[in-house]
Homo-oligomer: A and B are copies of this chain.
Amino acid sequence: MEASKVLDDMRKLFAADRVAADAPTRTTYAADLWPLAQIWKLGGEYSRYRSACVVWPEDRGDVERAVAWCHQERVPLVPVGALSGVCGGAVPREGGVQLDVKRMRRVLEVDRTVQEIEVDPGWNGLLLEERLQRLGLTLGHFPSSIACSTVGGWVATRSAGQYSSRYGKIEDMVRGLEVVTPGQGTIRTGVLGGAGPHDPWNHVFTGSEGTLGVITRIRLRVHPAPTAMDFHGFGFRSPLDGLAAMQRILQSRLRPAVLRLYDPFDSVLVGFHRATDDGRDVAAAAATHPDPWIARALSLVSGELEDRCLVLLLRRPELINRVAQWLPVPSLLVFGDEGSEEEVQRTLEAASAIARDHGGKDLGPGPGRAWHRNRYGVSYKQSRIFQRGAFVDTMEVATTWEQVHRLYRRVVEALSPLVFIMAHFSHAYPEGCSIYFTFVGYRRRAADLERLYLRAWRQGLDAVTSLGGTVSHHHGVGLHKMGAMHREQPGGAAVFRALKAVLDPRGIMNPGKLWHEGEG
Protein backbone atom coordinates (compact mmCIF):
# COMPACT_ATOMS: atom_id res chain seq x y z
CA MET A 1 0.00 0.00 0.00
CA GLU A 2 1.12 3.52 -0.77
CA ALA A 3 2.56 5.40 2.19
CA SER A 4 0.13 8.25 1.59
CA LYS A 5 -2.84 5.88 1.81
CA VAL A 6 -1.49 4.41 5.08
CA LEU A 7 -1.20 7.91 6.47
CA ASP A 8 -4.70 8.89 5.31
CA ASP A 9 -6.24 5.88 7.00
CA MET A 10 -4.29 6.37 10.21
CA ARG A 11 -5.54 9.96 10.31
CA LYS A 12 -9.08 8.65 10.10
CA LEU A 13 -8.42 6.26 13.00
CA PHE A 14 -6.48 8.63 15.30
CA ALA A 15 -6.54 12.30 16.27
CA ALA A 16 -4.23 14.61 14.33
CA ASP A 17 -1.71 15.03 17.17
CA ARG A 18 -1.24 11.29 17.42
CA VAL A 19 -0.07 10.62 13.87
CA ALA A 20 3.04 12.10 12.27
CA ALA A 21 4.59 11.63 8.87
CA ASP A 22 6.87 14.68 8.56
CA ALA A 23 10.45 14.10 7.46
CA PRO A 24 12.15 14.89 10.82
CA THR A 25 9.90 12.40 12.65
CA ARG A 26 10.30 9.64 10.09
CA THR A 27 14.05 10.20 10.01
CA THR A 28 14.29 10.10 13.79
CA TYR A 29 12.33 6.86 13.83
CA ALA A 30 14.34 5.36 10.97
CA ALA A 31 16.80 3.81 13.40
CA ASP A 32 17.39 2.95 17.04
CA LEU A 33 20.90 3.06 18.57
CA TRP A 34 22.20 0.20 16.48
CA PRO A 35 25.77 1.29 15.64
CA LEU A 36 25.40 0.16 12.04
CA ALA A 37 22.62 2.72 11.60
CA GLN A 38 25.01 5.34 12.98
CA ILE A 39 27.54 4.23 10.39
CA TRP A 40 24.91 4.72 7.68
CA LYS A 41 24.51 8.27 8.96
CA LEU A 42 28.29 8.81 8.78
CA GLY A 43 27.91 8.00 5.09
CA GLY A 44 25.16 10.60 4.78
CA GLU A 45 22.39 8.00 4.65
CA TYR A 46 19.95 9.10 7.34
CA SER A 47 17.15 6.66 6.74
CA ARG A 48 17.83 3.53 4.80
CA TYR A 49 14.40 2.27 5.91
CA ARG A 50 11.49 4.56 6.75
CA SER A 51 7.95 3.96 7.91
CA ALA A 52 4.93 5.64 6.32
CA CYS A 53 4.07 7.27 9.63
CA VAL A 54 4.43 7.08 13.40
CA VAL A 55 1.32 6.60 15.56
CA TRP A 56 1.04 7.16 19.33
CA PRO A 57 -1.63 4.97 20.93
CA GLU A 58 -2.79 5.87 24.44
CA ASP A 59 -4.48 2.66 25.52
CA ARG A 60 -5.17 -0.91 24.53
CA GLY A 61 -8.17 0.12 22.44
CA ASP A 62 -5.94 2.29 20.27
CA VAL A 63 -3.48 -0.58 19.83
CA GLU A 64 -6.26 -2.97 18.92
CA ARG A 65 -7.54 -0.58 16.26
CA ALA A 66 -4.08 -0.10 14.75
CA VAL A 67 -3.34 -3.83 14.77
CA ALA A 68 -6.72 -4.71 13.26
CA TRP A 69 -6.30 -2.19 10.46
CA CYS A 70 -2.74 -3.27 9.63
CA HIS A 71 -3.82 -6.93 9.70
CA GLN A 72 -6.76 -6.22 7.39
CA GLU A 73 -4.69 -4.15 4.98
CA ARG A 74 -1.53 -6.29 5.25
CA VAL A 75 0.56 -3.28 6.28
CA PRO A 76 3.71 -3.83 8.43
CA LEU A 77 3.43 -2.70 12.05
CA VAL A 78 6.55 -2.04 14.15
CA PRO A 79 6.05 -1.41 17.90
CA VAL A 80 8.69 0.95 19.30
CA GLY A 81 9.52 2.32 22.73
CA ALA A 82 12.41 4.69 23.49
CA LEU A 83 14.43 3.63 20.44
CA SER A 84 17.47 2.86 22.58
CA GLY A 85 17.87 -0.71 21.32
CA VAL A 86 21.28 -1.49 19.83
CA CYS A 87 20.40 -4.26 17.35
CA GLY A 88 18.09 -2.54 14.89
CA GLY A 89 14.96 -4.18 16.29
CA ALA A 90 12.88 -1.01 15.79
CA VAL A 91 14.11 -0.27 12.26
CA PRO A 92 11.05 -0.25 9.94
CA ARG A 93 12.60 -2.59 7.46
CA GLU A 94 9.51 -2.99 5.30
CA GLY A 95 7.95 0.41 5.95
CA GLY A 96 4.40 0.52 7.29
CA VAL A 97 3.36 1.97 10.62
CA GLN A 98 5.56 2.49 13.68
CA LEU A 99 3.53 2.30 16.87
CA ASP A 100 5.23 4.30 19.61
CA VAL A 101 3.90 3.15 23.01
CA LYS A 102 5.56 5.88 25.08
CA ARG A 103 2.22 7.62 25.69
CA MET A 104 0.90 4.44 27.32
CA ARG A 105 2.18 5.20 30.80
CA ARG A 106 -0.84 5.90 32.97
CA VAL A 107 -1.33 2.63 34.77
CA LEU A 108 0.77 1.58 37.74
CA GLU A 109 -1.11 -0.83 39.97
CA VAL A 110 0.80 -1.94 43.02
CA ASP A 111 -0.23 -5.20 44.61
CA ARG A 112 1.60 -5.34 47.90
CA THR A 113 -0.01 -8.62 48.94
CA VAL A 114 1.63 -10.59 46.17
CA GLN A 115 4.54 -8.19 45.63
CA GLU A 116 3.68 -7.54 42.02
CA ILE A 117 2.95 -4.48 39.93
CA GLU A 118 1.05 -4.03 36.71
CA VAL A 119 2.22 -1.28 34.37
CA ASP A 120 1.65 0.17 30.94
CA PRO A 121 4.48 -0.55 28.48
CA GLY A 122 5.41 3.09 27.87
CA TRP A 123 6.70 3.79 31.38
CA ASN A 124 10.21 5.14 31.36
CA GLY A 125 12.42 2.80 33.37
CA LEU A 126 14.00 5.34 35.69
CA LEU A 127 10.73 7.12 36.46
CA LEU A 128 9.13 3.79 37.30
CA GLU A 129 11.96 2.77 39.61
CA GLU A 130 11.92 6.15 41.36
CA ARG A 131 8.16 5.86 41.89
CA LEU A 132 8.55 2.35 43.28
CA GLN A 133 11.34 3.44 45.63
CA ARG A 134 9.06 6.13 47.03
CA LEU A 135 6.57 3.34 47.76
CA GLY A 136 9.27 1.36 49.56
CA LEU A 137 9.66 -1.08 46.66
CA THR A 138 12.15 -1.88 43.91
CA LEU A 139 11.91 -3.73 40.63
CA GLY A 140 15.61 -4.55 40.87
CA HIS A 141 16.10 -3.93 37.14
CA PHE A 142 18.87 -1.47 36.28
CA PRO A 143 20.06 -1.65 32.67
CA SER A 144 22.59 1.05 31.84
CA SER A 145 19.91 2.42 29.49
CA ILE A 146 17.46 2.83 32.38
CA ALA A 147 17.03 6.57 31.76
CA CYS A 148 16.31 6.15 28.05
CA SER A 149 14.38 2.90 27.78
CA THR A 150 10.83 1.70 28.47
CA VAL A 151 9.45 -1.22 30.41
CA GLY A 152 7.82 -2.50 27.22
CA GLY A 153 11.19 -2.43 25.51
CA TRP A 154 12.80 -4.34 28.39
CA VAL A 155 10.27 -7.14 28.03
CA ALA A 156 10.32 -7.17 24.24
CA THR A 157 14.12 -7.61 24.16
CA ARG A 158 14.75 -9.87 27.19
CA SER A 159 16.71 -7.14 28.93
CA ALA A 160 19.03 -7.69 31.90
CA GLY A 161 19.84 -5.13 34.56
CA GLN A 162 23.15 -4.66 36.31
CA TYR A 163 21.85 -6.49 39.40
CA SER A 164 20.63 -9.55 37.53
CA SER A 165 22.63 -11.98 39.69
CA ARG A 166 20.35 -11.02 42.57
CA TYR A 167 17.04 -10.15 40.90
CA GLY A 168 17.19 -12.13 37.67
CA LYS A 169 16.73 -10.92 34.11
CA ILE A 170 13.46 -9.29 33.04
CA GLU A 171 12.08 -12.67 31.95
CA ASP A 172 12.45 -13.84 35.54
CA MET A 173 10.36 -10.89 36.71
CA VAL A 174 7.50 -11.13 34.21
CA ARG A 175 4.45 -12.65 35.88
CA GLY A 176 1.93 -11.88 33.17
CA LEU A 177 1.43 -10.00 29.93
CA GLU A 178 -1.37 -8.60 27.85
CA VAL A 179 -0.52 -8.80 24.15
CA VAL A 180 -2.54 -7.62 21.18
CA THR A 181 -1.99 -10.05 18.32
CA PRO A 182 -3.28 -9.85 14.75
CA GLY A 183 -4.28 -13.50 14.59
CA GLN A 184 -5.67 -14.25 18.04
CA GLY A 185 -6.85 -10.91 19.34
CA THR A 186 -5.80 -9.80 22.81
CA ILE A 187 -4.12 -12.52 24.86
CA ARG A 188 -3.43 -12.50 28.58
CA THR A 189 -0.64 -14.76 29.76
CA GLY A 190 0.62 -15.87 33.11
CA VAL A 191 -0.73 -17.44 36.26
CA LEU A 192 1.00 -18.87 39.26
CA GLY A 193 2.23 -22.38 39.08
CA GLY A 194 2.18 -25.02 36.56
CA ALA A 195 -0.60 -26.52 34.50
CA GLY A 196 0.73 -27.84 31.23
CA PRO A 197 2.33 -25.72 28.58
CA HIS A 198 0.45 -22.47 29.09
CA ASP A 199 2.97 -21.04 31.51
CA PRO A 200 5.60 -20.69 28.75
CA TRP A 201 3.60 -18.02 26.93
CA ASN A 202 5.15 -15.42 29.23
CA HIS A 203 8.50 -16.63 27.92
CA VAL A 204 7.36 -16.72 24.31
CA PHE A 205 6.28 -13.08 24.24
CA THR A 206 9.19 -11.91 26.39
CA GLY A 207 11.97 -11.47 23.88
CA SER A 208 9.71 -11.63 20.83
CA GLU A 209 10.80 -8.12 19.80
CA GLY A 210 7.45 -7.07 18.39
CA THR A 211 7.23 -9.97 15.96
CA LEU A 212 4.21 -11.67 17.57
CA GLY A 213 2.10 -8.81 18.89
CA VAL A 214 2.09 -5.53 20.79
CA ILE A 215 2.62 -5.78 24.56
CA THR A 216 0.02 -3.52 26.19
CA ARG A 217 0.26 -4.41 29.87
CA ILE A 218 2.99 -5.99 32.00
CA ARG A 219 2.81 -7.69 35.39
CA LEU A 220 6.15 -7.79 37.21
CA ARG A 221 7.48 -9.10 40.49
CA VAL A 222 8.81 -6.40 42.84
CA HIS A 223 10.73 -6.49 46.13
CA PRO A 224 10.96 -4.41 49.28
CA ALA A 225 13.37 -1.56 48.66
CA PRO A 226 16.83 -2.26 50.11
CA THR A 227 17.96 -0.41 53.20
CA ALA A 228 21.67 -0.93 52.65
CA MET A 229 24.16 -1.35 49.83
CA ASP A 230 27.91 -1.79 49.69
CA PHE A 231 30.78 -3.03 47.58
CA HIS A 232 34.10 -4.76 47.78
CA GLY A 233 36.87 -5.01 45.22
CA PHE A 234 39.78 -7.40 44.62
CA GLY A 235 42.67 -7.42 42.18
CA PHE A 236 43.69 -10.71 40.50
CA ARG A 237 46.87 -11.62 38.75
CA SER A 238 44.84 -12.84 35.75
CA PRO A 239 41.22 -12.97 34.66
CA LEU A 240 41.37 -16.75 35.11
CA ASP A 241 41.79 -16.45 38.88
CA GLY A 242 39.02 -13.90 39.05
CA LEU A 243 36.70 -16.15 37.05
CA ALA A 244 37.39 -19.05 39.40
CA ALA A 245 36.41 -16.84 42.35
CA MET A 246 33.23 -15.66 40.57
CA GLN A 247 32.19 -19.20 39.82
CA ARG A 248 32.70 -20.34 43.39
CA ILE A 249 30.78 -17.39 44.78
CA LEU A 250 27.75 -18.18 42.63
CA GLN A 251 27.97 -21.90 43.27
CA SER A 252 28.05 -21.30 47.04
CA ARG A 253 24.44 -20.05 46.78
CA LEU A 254 25.64 -16.46 47.22
CA ARG A 255 23.79 -13.95 45.02
CA PRO A 256 25.56 -10.60 45.28
CA ALA A 257 23.58 -8.09 43.21
CA VAL A 258 26.71 -6.99 41.35
CA LEU A 259 29.66 -9.14 40.33
CA ARG A 260 31.93 -7.82 37.61
CA LEU A 261 35.39 -8.86 36.51
CA TYR A 262 37.34 -6.64 34.14
CA ASP A 263 40.11 -7.62 31.78
CA PRO A 264 43.26 -5.49 32.09
CA PHE A 265 42.25 -2.62 29.85
CA ASP A 266 38.70 -2.47 31.15
CA SER A 267 40.25 -2.52 34.65
CA VAL A 268 42.20 0.62 33.81
CA LEU A 269 38.98 2.42 33.03
CA VAL A 270 37.28 1.34 36.24
CA GLY A 271 40.40 1.97 38.29
CA PHE A 272 40.49 5.39 36.74
CA HIS A 273 36.94 6.15 37.85
CA ARG A 274 37.97 5.17 41.33
CA ALA A 275 40.74 7.72 41.28
CA THR A 276 38.48 10.57 40.18
CA ASP A 277 35.89 10.92 42.88
CA ASP A 278 35.50 14.53 41.86
CA GLY A 279 33.53 13.39 38.84
CA ARG A 280 35.96 14.45 36.09
CA ASP A 281 35.29 12.49 32.98
CA VAL A 282 37.51 10.09 31.08
CA ALA A 283 38.60 12.75 28.60
CA ALA A 284 39.85 15.10 31.30
CA ALA A 285 41.87 12.33 32.89
CA ALA A 286 43.30 11.23 29.58
CA ALA A 287 44.82 14.65 29.20
CA THR A 288 46.67 14.37 32.49
CA HIS A 289 47.40 10.69 33.00
CA PRO A 290 51.10 10.11 33.73
CA ASP A 291 51.38 6.90 31.68
CA PRO A 292 51.34 7.93 28.01
CA TRP A 293 49.93 4.62 26.78
CA ILE A 294 47.08 4.66 29.27
CA ALA A 295 46.49 8.31 28.51
CA ARG A 296 46.21 7.53 24.82
CA ALA A 297 43.99 4.53 25.43
CA LEU A 298 41.70 6.63 27.62
CA SER A 299 41.54 9.26 24.91
CA LEU A 300 40.64 6.61 22.44
CA VAL A 301 37.68 5.43 24.47
CA SER A 302 36.55 8.92 25.36
CA GLY A 303 36.67 9.93 21.75
CA GLU A 304 38.92 12.87 22.67
CA LEU A 305 41.93 11.57 20.82
CA GLU A 306 42.77 13.96 18.07
CA ASP A 307 41.84 12.73 14.65
CA ARG A 308 45.34 12.08 13.38
CA CYS A 309 46.24 9.89 16.37
CA LEU A 310 42.97 8.04 16.20
CA VAL A 311 43.62 7.18 12.59
CA LEU A 312 47.13 6.05 13.36
CA LEU A 313 46.10 3.93 16.30
CA LEU A 314 42.92 2.44 14.94
CA ARG A 315 44.55 1.43 11.70
CA ARG A 316 46.79 -0.81 13.78
CA PRO A 317 44.38 -2.32 16.30
CA GLU A 318 46.69 -5.35 16.87
CA LEU A 319 49.20 -2.94 18.34
CA ILE A 320 46.81 -1.41 20.86
CA ASN A 321 45.41 -4.81 21.70
CA ARG A 322 48.89 -6.11 22.38
CA VAL A 323 49.70 -3.16 24.59
CA ALA A 324 46.42 -3.64 26.44
CA GLN A 325 47.47 -7.19 27.31
CA TRP A 326 50.73 -5.89 28.80
CA LEU A 327 49.21 -3.15 30.93
CA PRO A 328 50.74 -3.40 34.39
CA VAL A 329 47.37 -3.65 36.12
CA PRO A 330 45.59 -6.49 37.87
CA SER A 331 42.21 -7.79 36.73
CA LEU A 332 39.66 -6.05 38.88
CA LEU A 333 36.75 -7.93 40.43
CA VAL A 334 34.07 -5.86 42.12
CA PHE A 335 31.07 -7.24 43.88
CA GLY A 336 28.33 -5.57 45.82
CA ASP A 337 24.99 -6.32 47.29
CA GLU A 338 21.89 -4.55 48.47
CA GLY A 339 19.20 -5.57 50.96
CA SER A 340 19.23 -5.39 54.74
CA GLU A 341 22.40 -4.19 56.45
CA GLU A 342 23.00 -7.67 57.85
CA GLU A 343 22.36 -9.41 54.52
CA VAL A 344 24.76 -7.14 52.64
CA GLN A 345 27.48 -7.58 55.23
CA ARG A 346 27.06 -11.36 55.27
CA THR A 347 27.19 -11.63 51.47
CA LEU A 348 30.24 -9.38 51.13
CA GLU A 349 32.11 -11.20 53.88
CA ALA A 350 31.44 -14.63 52.42
CA ALA A 351 32.34 -13.49 48.89
CA SER A 352 35.49 -11.73 50.13
CA ALA A 353 36.67 -14.90 51.83
CA ILE A 354 36.35 -16.75 48.53
CA ALA A 355 38.13 -13.96 46.61
CA ARG A 356 41.04 -14.04 49.08
CA ASP A 357 41.15 -17.81 48.82
CA HIS A 358 41.72 -17.45 45.05
CA GLY A 359 44.60 -15.05 45.51
CA GLY A 360 42.71 -11.78 45.22
CA LYS A 361 44.34 -8.66 46.63
CA ASP A 362 41.93 -6.69 48.80
CA LEU A 363 41.18 -3.24 47.33
CA GLY A 364 38.41 -2.30 49.76
CA PRO A 365 35.09 -0.71 48.81
CA GLY A 366 36.55 2.01 46.53
CA PRO A 367 36.44 0.45 43.04
CA GLY A 368 32.91 -0.86 43.50
CA ARG A 369 31.63 2.44 44.81
CA ALA A 370 33.26 4.20 41.87
CA TRP A 371 31.62 1.77 39.48
CA HIS A 372 28.27 2.45 41.16
CA ARG A 373 28.60 6.21 40.72
CA ASN A 374 29.35 5.82 37.02
CA ARG A 375 27.11 2.86 36.33
CA TYR A 376 24.81 4.51 33.77
CA GLY A 377 27.49 6.68 32.23
CA VAL A 378 29.02 4.37 29.67
CA SER A 379 26.12 4.50 27.23
CA TYR A 380 26.41 8.25 26.89
CA LYS A 381 30.10 8.44 26.04
CA GLN A 382 29.92 6.73 22.70
CA SER A 383 28.58 9.54 20.53
CA ARG A 384 31.92 11.34 20.56
CA ILE A 385 33.58 8.33 19.00
CA PHE A 386 31.03 8.33 16.19
CA GLN A 387 31.57 12.06 15.76
CA ARG A 388 35.14 11.23 14.90
CA GLY A 389 34.13 8.80 12.18
CA ALA A 390 34.87 5.64 14.14
CA PHE A 391 32.43 3.16 15.60
CA VAL A 392 32.15 1.61 19.05
CA ASP A 393 29.93 -1.37 19.80
CA THR A 394 29.38 -3.92 22.54
CA MET A 395 28.82 -7.63 22.16
CA GLU A 396 27.23 -9.33 25.16
CA VAL A 397 27.36 -13.08 24.82
CA ALA A 398 27.12 -15.80 27.44
CA THR A 399 28.36 -19.30 28.12
CA THR A 400 28.92 -21.87 30.83
CA TRP A 401 31.84 -21.61 33.28
CA GLU A 402 34.00 -24.22 31.61
CA GLN A 403 33.92 -22.24 28.34
CA VAL A 404 34.06 -18.65 29.62
CA HIS A 405 37.79 -18.03 29.39
CA ARG A 406 38.21 -20.00 26.16
CA LEU A 407 35.39 -18.02 24.55
CA TYR A 408 36.89 -14.75 25.75
CA ARG A 409 40.28 -15.67 24.27
CA ARG A 410 38.82 -16.88 20.99
CA VAL A 411 36.79 -13.70 20.44
CA VAL A 412 39.74 -11.48 21.35
CA GLU A 413 41.93 -13.40 18.89
CA ALA A 414 39.31 -13.22 16.16
CA LEU A 415 38.81 -9.46 16.54
CA SER A 416 42.29 -8.24 17.43
CA PRO A 417 43.40 -7.71 13.84
CA LEU A 418 40.28 -5.67 13.10
CA VAL A 419 39.28 -3.56 16.07
CA PHE A 420 40.49 -2.44 19.46
CA ILE A 421 38.82 -4.73 22.02
CA MET A 422 38.32 -5.07 25.78
CA ALA A 423 35.88 -7.02 27.92
CA HIS A 424 34.38 -7.65 31.31
CA PHE A 425 32.56 -10.61 32.79
CA SER A 426 29.28 -9.90 34.54
CA HIS A 427 25.69 -11.18 34.97
CA ALA A 428 26.93 -14.28 36.75
CA TYR A 429 24.76 -17.31 37.49
CA PRO A 430 25.47 -20.73 39.00
CA GLU A 431 26.11 -22.21 35.54
CA GLY A 432 28.03 -19.43 33.84
CA CYS A 433 28.18 -15.75 33.04
CA SER A 434 28.01 -13.15 30.33
CA ILE A 435 31.05 -11.67 28.59
CA TYR A 436 30.64 -8.06 27.57
CA PHE A 437 33.06 -7.06 24.81
CA THR A 438 33.55 -3.42 23.85
CA PHE A 439 35.28 -2.74 20.55
CA VAL A 440 36.25 0.29 18.53
CA GLY A 441 36.99 0.34 14.80
CA TYR A 442 37.92 2.91 12.20
CA ARG A 443 38.05 3.32 8.42
CA ARG A 444 38.12 6.63 6.62
CA ARG A 445 35.24 5.93 4.23
CA ALA A 446 31.79 5.06 5.60
CA ALA A 447 31.40 2.18 3.13
CA ASP A 448 34.67 0.67 4.40
CA LEU A 449 33.62 1.27 7.99
CA GLU A 450 30.39 -0.65 7.36
CA ARG A 451 32.36 -3.53 5.86
CA LEU A 452 34.73 -3.55 8.83
CA TYR A 453 31.79 -3.46 11.24
CA LEU A 454 30.01 -6.37 9.60
CA ARG A 455 33.21 -8.37 9.32
CA ALA A 456 34.09 -7.85 12.98
CA TRP A 457 30.64 -8.93 14.10
CA ARG A 458 30.58 -11.91 11.81
CA GLN A 459 33.97 -13.13 13.08
CA GLY A 460 33.07 -12.40 16.69
CA LEU A 461 29.76 -14.23 16.62
CA ASP A 462 31.28 -17.12 14.67
CA ALA A 463 33.80 -17.51 17.47
CA VAL A 464 30.92 -17.56 19.96
CA THR A 465 28.76 -20.11 18.15
CA SER A 466 31.76 -22.30 17.38
CA LEU A 467 32.10 -22.86 21.13
CA GLY A 468 28.38 -23.26 21.78
CA GLY A 469 27.90 -19.88 23.44
CA THR A 470 24.74 -17.84 23.05
CA VAL A 471 24.99 -14.81 20.79
CA SER A 472 22.99 -12.48 22.99
CA HIS A 473 22.69 -12.23 26.73
CA HIS A 474 20.51 -9.14 26.96
CA HIS A 475 20.66 -6.84 23.93
CA GLY A 476 18.36 -8.99 21.83
CA VAL A 477 18.55 -10.03 18.20
CA GLY A 478 16.88 -7.39 16.03
CA LEU A 479 18.13 -7.08 12.49
CA HIS A 480 21.62 -7.55 13.71
CA LYS A 481 21.99 -11.11 14.95
CA MET A 482 19.45 -12.97 12.84
CA GLY A 483 22.03 -14.94 10.96
CA ALA A 484 23.82 -15.86 14.16
CA MET A 485 20.54 -16.99 15.73
CA HIS A 486 20.08 -19.45 12.88
CA ARG A 487 23.59 -20.78 13.39
CA GLU A 488 23.14 -21.00 17.17
CA GLN A 489 19.70 -22.64 17.11
CA PRO A 490 18.96 -24.09 13.68
CA GLY A 491 15.74 -25.72 14.95
CA GLY A 492 14.21 -22.57 16.36
CA ALA A 493 13.01 -21.09 13.09
CA ALA A 494 10.42 -23.82 12.60
CA VAL A 495 8.85 -23.19 15.97
CA PHE A 496 8.91 -19.45 15.38
CA ARG A 497 7.19 -20.02 12.03
CA ALA A 498 4.49 -22.00 13.78
CA LEU A 499 3.86 -19.24 16.31
CA LYS A 500 3.76 -16.65 13.54
CA ALA A 501 1.24 -18.73 11.57
CA VAL A 502 -1.21 -18.55 14.45
CA LEU A 503 -0.48 -15.21 16.10
CA ASP A 504 0.42 -13.19 13.01
CA PRO A 505 -0.76 -15.19 9.98
CA ARG A 506 -0.19 -12.34 7.52
CA GLY A 507 3.29 -11.57 8.78
CA ILE A 508 2.67 -7.90 9.54
CA MET A 509 4.33 -7.73 12.97
CA ASN A 510 7.82 -6.19 12.76
CA PRO A 511 8.59 -8.15 9.58
CA GLY A 512 12.09 -9.23 8.64
CA LYS A 513 13.39 -9.52 12.20
CA LEU A 514 14.52 -12.03 14.80
CA TRP A 515 14.02 -15.45 13.19
CA HIS A 516 13.31 -14.05 9.76
CA GLU A 517 14.72 -16.44 7.20
CA GLY A 518 17.14 -16.04 4.40
CA GLU A 519 19.63 -14.25 6.62
CA GLY A 520 21.54 -17.35 7.74
Contact = CB atoms under 8 A, between A and B. Distances in A.
B160 A194 contact: yes
B195 A481 contact: yes
B470 A113 contact: no
A462 interface: no
Contact of A431 (B114, B188, B198, B499): B114
Contacts of A502: 494-495, 497-498
Contacts of A111: 402
A198 B339 CA distance: 33
A97 to B, nearest CB: 23
Nearest to A402: B113
A76 interface: no
Contacts of A355: none
A402 B194 contact: no
Contacts of A432: 114, 192-193
A169 B192 CA distance: 12
Given A400-B114, A494-B184, A499-B495, A472 B193 contact: yes
Interface string A224-258: 10000000000000000000000100010100000
A274 interface: no
A424 interface: no
A55 to B, nearest CB: 25
Given A430-B115, A502-B494, A193 B489 contact: no
Interface stretch (A21-29, A200-208, A261-269): A200-208
A116 B221 contact: no
Contacts of A158: 194-196, 199
A496 interface: yes
B192 A399 contact: yes
Contacts of A197: 203-204, 207-208, 492, 496, 499, 514-515
B253 A339 contact: yes
Contacts of A371: none
User: Interface centre among A468, A469, A495, by most B CB within 10 Å?
Assistant: A495
A423 interface: no
B207 A194 contact: yes
Ranked 8 nearest A-B pairs via Cβ? A193-B398, A200-B203, A498-B502, A195-B472, A198-B492, A113-B402, A114-B400, A114-B431
